[in-house]
A and B are shown apart, each in its own frame.
Chain A
Amino acid sequence: RKEVEQDPGPFNVPEGATVAFNCTYSNSASQSFFWYRQDCRKEPKLLMSVYSSGNEDGRFTAQLNRASQYISLLIRDSKLSDSATYLCVVTGGYQKVTFGIGTKLQVIP
């Protein structure tokens, strides 16, 4: 089983739609969780951290479920500019950072 698993998509959604991605992780001792965004032919950049209590940043909401070992990202009112690949990231012991393969989102006009 992969350490971090994501549905690669693509998810094609119309502008204004709400879309959600899940990501599962295998190591129950994982410590920190993040969502990164990667635009085509660019480097990944931090989108948001994921806290146990859940957190929101504008149209973006991230949640963590430690019991089921998954994190989620919800995007409301999708914009064309949200089109990108969203990478789930899990950090374990000694700050080892493991990325999921990424979920590709395409927002359609």
Chain B
Amino acid sequence: DVKVTQSSRYLVKRTGEKVFLECVQDMDHENMFWYRQDPGLGLRLIYFSYDVKMKEKGDIPEGYSVSREKKERFSLILESASTNQTSMYLCASSPLALGPPLFGEGSRLTVL
């Protein structure tokens, strides 16, 4: 089964901690995305990557950074977590031919 795997389904962190959210895909997709989903706000794009070491800001990049050292792995980094970053984080990947993205199961992050 092809899939996108987010390593942590649930995380609880303290304010100021550095947080890593990992996403791995096994489909050799060029594009990878990080979204956050909040009630009433829907899905918002944080960052996306269209190739190894290539990245582009989405709609809400502030407070986040990303890393893509290998094609299959796309990491979202919260340098200093804050309570307003409590959210559901969704990773997705898609092929270069603009096919539909495949989503992971999500990582629910709580920052106390």
Whether A associates with B in a native complex is no
